[in-house]
A and B are shown apart, each in its own frame.
Chain A
């Protein structure tokens, strides 16, 4: 038998996220890990130091969202994102694992929120959500330090036929004095089905 794949109209067969295991750190400014950009940080950062990131889901390292400690209660946020080239018309599945290590506090208990998103930018510059997974940790007794939890979400609609880039984004937010620590690892984005409907009328399909 030989390899006989038909490449026309095909969605990607491999992993689309680079360094989804956060095994490779980066020294580039605002890139704590290779291929991962830290943006919109405000009283919170993404840590990459080995001593802070060695509680891993797979491999040896994870990304760690850390809020800074402040005297007054403050909104604290940071986003970690990666831009991915995709095939128009394909349906994609995002998966990752997260572990709320410590839960912060304030006058009221802090409510850390980690929101996983897969978005694209439309022709008007608007961010359009294809996947959104909000994770909200409300319980100080039952939520922190419970190990890694796996999550998986699939786009309900295909990537539009005029879109070829997606942004995989993790938004961290809380309002607190003493901050929370939240680990993220094993980020994956893969095509679900083998073919794209966007090529129906293309030449050769």
Chain B
């Protein structure tokens, strides 16, 4: 008797590996398929489209109290505004023509604060990805912050953050007017089954005398999972899906309580000591949060190869497809570096004989002498073309920095994320092996 498929699923052939396989002789493999193990193919109950309306701020509001269609300003102190581009100023947009301008105005009150928010209808049980681009155009004397959040009100009336991206920029020339920087994070957990509405909110704050301008554009919220974990009608939707939570621990380098071999918890510096390059924490130029990692080459009398790596071992689920993302900022080339600065991001596994197999490989080279130094952070994202092999349960994530020079090269790294795509594993957990008959 076959399985009865509920209305929101279409039947799919069962995985051949979901039942025992008998090898009756050396040349023939008999495969038996148990139709009761047949899984169903959900019709993607999670949304496939964009959920944030007017995320590019192209549409101005007809309501004089609100600057943009579908967005609401709240918690504003009287000296802080969100507006379209001011009159007689050229627009500076990430995409399209317009963006949201957070502006502080001179006043007796130093504290400035304002929030911009939008409520979004979501599907319970789905996992969402939040992204936006920001550009701190001008700043005065103090440290402004911009926090992007996706939250829902819990039963006690508090706001529970599904995603939070905190950006704080010191008054440092490397943080100001460096163009747009892209940010993206995926929720580690799905929207609870009793929640169908979340709020996307940006909180802007600074203590200054006026003159800070921070631009926001390209706001997006999309489902990354096809299937909801709050399935109805007994549809086996999210049961065997790889979980997209961040697998990297301390990927933002916020915990600097590492041991002697690394300034960061969970990360290991290689070589630990004695090299002409090393890794430190840096608090004045983070991408997100309060700290970033910085690769530094020591100054030497003669040009020589200097290299250092930062590595973390990460448990993974066999058969899942991995996606690596990070942000890097080539801060200082260093004297006599020529075309040699390199930062290579790798995700690889190692077999029993010590051979390394790359799943993801992202080489970054700074060859040009003038136009690629101190330009702010660039976001990178790369998905593995092949899944984690079925016999592999951990991978290495490694950033290899190298340069040949006499000078002091500096390269920042922050917000390292390694996630599984929320697809089915390519490996069958229930495989019971091959019965061998002599």
Using a CB–CB cutoff of 8 Å, the interface residues on chain A facing chain B are: 1-6, 8-9, 13-15, 54-60, 91, 95, 97, 101, 133-136, 138-143, 145-152, 154, 156-158, 186, 190, 192-195, 197, 200, 204-205
Contacts and interface: CB of A to CB of B under 8 A. Distances in A.
A146 B12 contact: no
Contact of A142 (B131, B137, B362, B426): B137
A205 B95 contact: no
B375 A1 contact: no
A147 to B, nearest CB: 3
A72 to B, nearest CB: 24
Interface string B215-232: 000100010101000000
5 contacts: A1-B391, A1-B427, A54-B368, A200-B10, A205-B13
A6 B133 contact: no
Interface of B is mostly: loop
Nearest to A155: B48
B12 A6 contact: yes
Given A139-B92, A156-B49, A158-B48, A15 B368 contact: no
Interface string B335-369: 00001000000000000000000000011110110
A112 to B, nearest CB: 13
B427 to A, nearest CB: 4
Contacts, number: 163
Contact of B381 (A15, A95, A147): A95
Given A139-B91, A205-B41, A190 B378 contact: no
B318 A1 contact: yes
B145 interface: no
Interface in B131-189: 131, 133, 135, 137, 177-182, 184
Contact of B96 (A13, A55, A134): A134
A200 to B, nearest CB: 5
A158 B226 CA distance: 13
Contact of B375 (A91, A146, A156): A146
A35 to B, nearest CB: 17
B380 A149 contact: no
Interface string B420-438: 0001101111010000000
Nearest to A145: B371
Interface string B1-19: 0000000001111011110
B333 interface: no
B222 to A, nearest CB: 6
B375 A145 contact: yes
B182 A150 contact: yes
Shortest 10 CB-CB distances between A and B: which pairs? A146-B179, A147-B375, A4-B17, A4-B428, A14-B385, A1-B390, A139-B90, A156-B49, A1-B427, A150-B379
B363 A4 contact: no
Given A147-B376, A194-B423, A101 B371 contact: yes
A2 B41 contact: no
A157 B47 CA distance: 10
B43 interface: yes
B44 interface: yes
A94 B285 CA distance: 29
B97 interface: yes
Contacts of B41: 9, 195, 205
B416 interface: no
A9 B92 contact: no
Given A149-B182, A193-B44, A1 B428 contact: yes
Interface in B84-116: 90-97
A138 B97 contact: yes
Interface residues of B, number: 68
Interface of B: 10-13, 15-18, 41, 43-44, 48-50, 90-97, 131, 133, 135, 137, 177-182, 184, 218, 222, 224, 226, 318-319, 321, 339, 362-365, 367-368, 371-372, 375-376, 378-381, 383, 385-387, 390-391, 423-424, 426-429, 431
B391 A147 contact: no
Contacts of A143: 92, 179
B429 A1 contact: yes
Given A1-B318, A60-B367, A194-B226, A8 B427 contact: no
B179 A4 contact: no
Contacts of A9: 12, 41
Nearest to A54: B367
A2 B226 contact: no
Nearest to A52: B368
Contacts of B226: 193-195
A93 B35 CA distance: 34
A4 B15 contact: yes
Given A56-B367, A157-B48, 20 more contacts: A1-B390, A3-B390, A6-B12, A14-B385, A54-B368, A55-B367, A57-B364, A58-B362, A136-B97, A138-B93, A142-B90, A143-B179, A146-B179, A146-B180, A147-B178, A149-B181, A152-B131, A156-B50, A195-B12, A195-B41
B38 to A, nearest CB: 11
B193 to A, nearest CB: 21
Given A6-B15, A138-B91, A151 B182 contact: yes
Nearest to A134: B96
Nearest to B58: A134
Given A57-B378, A156-B50, A151 B91 contact: no
B237 to A, nearest CB: 12
A101 B368 CA distance: 12
Nearest to B389: A3
A58 B364 contact: yes
Contacts of B178: 146-147
B424 A147 contact: no
B365 A60 contact: yes
Nearest to B385: A14
